[in-house]
Every structure is written in C-alpha cells, then in structure tokens.
Amino acid sequence: MRALEFTEYGGPEVLKWGDAPVPHPGSGQIRIAVRAASVNPVDWKRLAGAMSGGQPLAGTGRLGSDAAGVVDELGEGVTGVSVGDEVFGRGQNTQAEFAVMDSWAFKPPSIDWAVAAAAGIAGETAERGLRLLGVKAGHAIFVDGGAGGVGAVAVQMALARGARVIASSSEANSDYLREIGAIPVLYGEGVGDRVRAAAGGPVDAVFDVAGKTPIEELVSLVSEPSQVVSIANFGAAQAGARVTGGAADSRPTEALAEVAQLLAQNKLVIKVQTFPFDRAAEAYRISQSGHVRGKLVLIP
C-alpha cells in the first residue's frame, strides 16, 4: 500500500510516498481503508526528530495519528463495529491507504470524510482539555489559539456546553473566531488585558492550545493557577498550571462519541483544507508555519 514515509529526519522535503506492508489490527483495534487523514503538528515534530529523545532514526518512519475510513478488518475482541462501517478516530501511521485505529466513533452520514478525519486528534484533545478544566454552562473560558485544529473544536465544544468563550488569534482569523461563536481577541503582548476587557473581569478557565503566551499572564486570568491547562507549553507546571499530553487522562472513545454527536447536530463545524496525497509536503509546510485555520487533510 502507499504510505507517507521518511528515512532521515528533516523537513517536508524528506517526505516520500513508499510501498509499505498493509498493517493488521491487534487486540481491540480495527483496520480501515483510509478515505482521509489529517495533518497534526505532531507529524512534522516527529518528522524533524523532535520526539525521538535524541535517538537516531531506526528504520523507516511513518506518519499520521487520525483518519476516517471504511472498516475492513477487526482485531481480536472488538465488538460493536463491523466490516464496512464508516468510522473516524485516532490511529497509527494513518497517512496511508490502510491504517490501524485504536479508538473510533461512527462517522455521521452527513459529514464529509475530510471533516471526520480532522476531528480525531483535535476532538479528543479538546474534550480532554475542557473536562480537566470542568467547563460548564455559565463559565467564561479563554482559549489561547482558538483558530487552529484543537482551538476551533475547543471553542465550539465549550459553547455547546453553555460556556461563554473568548479566544485569541491573529488579525487574519478574528472573523473566523466570530463565525464559530467566540469573542475574538488578538494574541501577543497585552493579551491578558484584552481577555479581561472582553470577559468583563477574570475567567473561570484558560485552555492554552498554542503554548506561546507567557504562562504567568494566563495564570493571572484565573483564581487558581490549576484552572489553566496547557497542551503545548510543557514548562507551564512551574507556574502551577496543568499540562496534559493525553495519556492516562485521555478518554478517547467517549470524546469521539461526543464529537460525532456535535458534528451530526451541526454544533461543531470544522473548516478543512484538503490536499491529495501527492501534495502532502505542502500541507506539512502550512502546518509548520503555525498559522492554520481549522485543519489540513490529506486525501488518497
């Protein structure tokens, strides 16, 4: 099968489409014929060797952590899903013709393959952040980096829970934030004051999706430092904020089910830019720029 590969660490220029063995699902996993697979920042971080702990690359590297497709093989012990079902979720080496999935939900029939593929990592991460922050109706939450993959889902999921959402972006994405229901503020110097002005005071929770604002400034927005959760600033704990990497605190099956429901109800709309597999490097370059609106998705 075709799979996106690399044999040396580097930038998008070292990516190539190789001929890889078709994987088989292990216990509790399924295999899908991939219809769409999204690009996440972790892909280019992995490609660059930033996740290797300084170790040299062993063998061929493959990429992709989420996808949507048609189930074509079931691992041992899997129930509740059948060959031929249309699903989306989180998996391994998903930027390929076939991929093994670890967690999934049924794709709502009205939802496009590319949108479903975009919802795996972004949806699970957004659900995790909001759950850790205890976001509920009546709360005011600040999403720092609201226009990107995780941010735009977090904004809409928080709104669906009845929260009031202030979110940051560059000027180019202010209207997009307004479109998805957030009160937009510009990120950068003075963002804390702009959030206080927009919220009419402190907020109940801060979800730091971008990891770019000094953590002290984010902590100053809430009554308890632990009401700041970051997915991208791994030094944030020093200021009393919480950092989540998505291991023990992840509930992917529940999260994906919630995401599927919000997609079906049109309460979650994900803006996607699609690229045929052959243009994967272009999508990686845009992701690497750090200024993505919504999600980038590869189509076989």
Ligand X SMILES: NC(=O)c1ccc[n+]([C@@H]2O[C@H](COP(=O)([O-])OP(=O)(O)OC[C@H]3O[C@@H](n4cnc5c(N)ncnc54)[C@H](OP(=O)(O)O)[C@@H]3O)[C@@H](O)[C@H]2O)c1
- Cβ-in-10-Å burial (0-12, 13-18, 19+) of 56 comes to exposed
Pick between residue 31 and residue 230 the one whose CB is nearest to ligand X.
Answer: 230
CB of 66 to ligand X, least distance (A): 10
DSSP string, 26-89: -TT-EEEEEEEEEE-HHHHHHHTTTTTTTPPP-S-EE--SEEEEEEEEE-TT--S--TT-EEEE
Classify residue 247 as exposed, middle or buried by CB count within 10 Å of its CB (0-12, 13-18, 19+). Answer: exposed
Q: In the complex with ligand X, which residue's Cβ is closer, 87 or 167?
A: 167
C-beta of 72 vs 282, nearer to ligand X: 282
**Closest approach of ligand X to the CB of residue 119, in Å:** 12
Q: Least distance to ligand X from the beta carbon of 60, Å?
A: 23
Q: Which is nearer to ligand X, 111 or 147 (CB)?
A: 147
CB of 30 to ligand X, least distance (A): 22
Residues that bind ligand X (CB under 6 A): 40-42, 121, 125, 144-145, 147-151, 168-170, 172-173, 187, 209-213, 231-232, 244-246, 287, 290-293
**Residue 185 tokens, joined:** 């503020």
Q: How far is the CB of 239 from ligand X (least distance, A)?
A: 17
Of 173 and 227, nearer to ligand X (C-beta) is 173
Q: Which residue has the tokens 């994906």?
A: 256
Contacts of 201 (CB under 8 A, 6+ apart): none
